[in-house]
């Protein structure tokens, strides 16, 4: 399979990993729309949301809840948007949930490596 997210899950591609467990991995998007743009990706390949069962959906949202709290604190934002794309809008055909910190009019100007360093600080 030539899926970028499967390669990331298998350690074949570089990523800025924020979280990992037996079911999902969370990474910073390398082409972010805002600082801290994070993706939660199931380790099992699901082409889109229609293939997800209730157990993995529940797990993804549990991880999203925990990660969003950390991101909000460290990035000093007070709101978030959660999104997934489907159909033509879904660039990579492996389901993933976007966590998008809301900075208001200021989307931020930091690069992914700088954001990763901020988030990895204790």
Catalytic residue numbers, as ranges: 96
By 3-state DSSP, what share of the chain in percent is helix, strand and coil, each rounded to 5?
35, 20, 45
Q: Distance between CA 30 and CA 8 in Å, rounded?
A: 12
Q: Distance between CA 91 and CA 85 in Å, rounded?
A: 8
Measured in Å, how far apart are the chain's first and last C-alpha atoms?
37
Q: Distance between CA 10 and CA 43 in Å, rounded?
A: 9
Q: Distance between CA 67 and CA 50 in Å, rounded?
A: 24
DSSP-derived secondary structure letter, 68: H
């Amino acid at each position: 399979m030539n899926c970028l997210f499967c390669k990331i899950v298998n350690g074949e591609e570089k990523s800025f990993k924020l979280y990992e467990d037996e079911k999902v991995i969370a990474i910073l998007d390398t082409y972010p729309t805002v600082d801290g743009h994070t993706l939660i990706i199931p380790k099992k390949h699901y082409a889109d949301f229609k293939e997800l069962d209730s157990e993995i959906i529940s797990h993804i949202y549990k991880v999203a809840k925990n990660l969003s709290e950390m991101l909000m604190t460290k990035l000093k934002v007070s709101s978030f948007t959660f999104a997934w794309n489907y159909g033509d809008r879904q660039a990579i055909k492996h389901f993933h949930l976007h966590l998008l910190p809301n900075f208001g009019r200021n989307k931020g100007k930091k690069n992914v490596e700088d954001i990763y360093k901020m988030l990895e600080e204790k």
